[in-house]
Amino acid sequence: NGDQIGAAGSFLATEFKRRYGFGFLAVEYPGYGLAQGQPSEKSIIHTANIALQHCIHELKIEPHRIILFGQSLGTGPALQLACSYHDIIPKLILLSPFTSIPAVAHSVFPFIPLSFLRVAIHDTFDNLKFMRSLSAIKRHDKKHPKCLILHGTEDEIVPFTQGQQLAAAGLAPLSSLTSSISPSSNQSRRNNGAISDFSFSTTFIPLRDLGHNNVFFDFYAHPNDSSPTSVIDIIARFASSSSSSSSSS
């Protein structure tokens, strides 16, 4: 939603390296910051693909060590690359994802028919379609990336329900999609155990009381933890977990 690579990218690279020793490559959208070109779905996907190929062929990073991570608009290219490279990329992380750009626009302007927005908006980033494609791959191919979806329950830009829809399409456990439970309830403690259990092919974690732009700077008070947990910690745990997934996803 307008961030440049010099802000979030440099912050995340520093934090992941300092706290966990992870490498982090942030990719700027065409037309943003100092990047040349014009931003569009086609140009963004093309740029993301070039970055992935650079990691594999120029930096000589083995594909099984690469994790695709997208936040907000970045979930679009991350998800599409996961579908294209499902047989070599082990993990995918989607933070504050949307089902499609027209769906986000419709949530802001509900008086405009969604059917019209789907025609009027050319760069749709149809995440729901690609998540369904990834789920179909999971059913028929043992080689597919595990997926972690995180979404703030108070997201003021992308409705929390859109993260839930993507998780459902990604075959996440039904219990994890419940958002009306109290963080202190026993049911909540059972449902949110996924923070330390990434055995399913898709894991959905509601980030309670977090919005869209504060996910990295505010702590998420998980009911199973004695102290607040940051989103960076959750991502790092997922990155360090086993790549094999449960068949009952």
Please report the pLDDT score of residue 217 as a whole number.
77
> What's the rounded Cα separation, in Å, for the pair 59 and 54?
6
**133: number of Cβ within 10 Å:** 17
DSSP per residue, 152-207: ETT-SSS-HHHHHHHHHHTT--GGGG--SS-TTSHHHHHHGGGGT---SSEEEEEE
> What's the rounded Cα separation, in Å, for the pair 175 and 179?
9
**Can you give the length of the chain in residues?**
249
Please report the pLDDT score of residue 11 as a whole number.
86
Check if the beta carbon of residue 212 is closer than 8 Å to that of residue 227.
no
Angle value at C-alpha 18, between 66 and 225, nearest 5 degrees: 85
DSSP state of 229: B
Residues 143-153 have pLDDT tens digits of 889 999 999 99
Residues 177-219 have pLDDT tens digits of 654 333 333 333 334 444 556 767 889 999 988 999 888 877 6
Please report the pLDDT score of residue 230 as a whole number.
86
Angle value at C-alpha 123, between 93 and 29, nearest 5 degrees: 55
Angle value at C-alpha 78, between 72 and 79, nearest 5 degrees: 95
Please report the pLDDT score of residue 175 as a whole number.
61
- Could you say which residues of the chain have pLDDT below 50? 179-194, 247-249
* Predicted model pTM: 0.87
| 146-152/67-71 β-pairing | unpaired
> What's the rounded Cα separation, in Å, for the pair 131 and 159?
17
Please report the pLDDT score of residue 30 as a whole number.
87
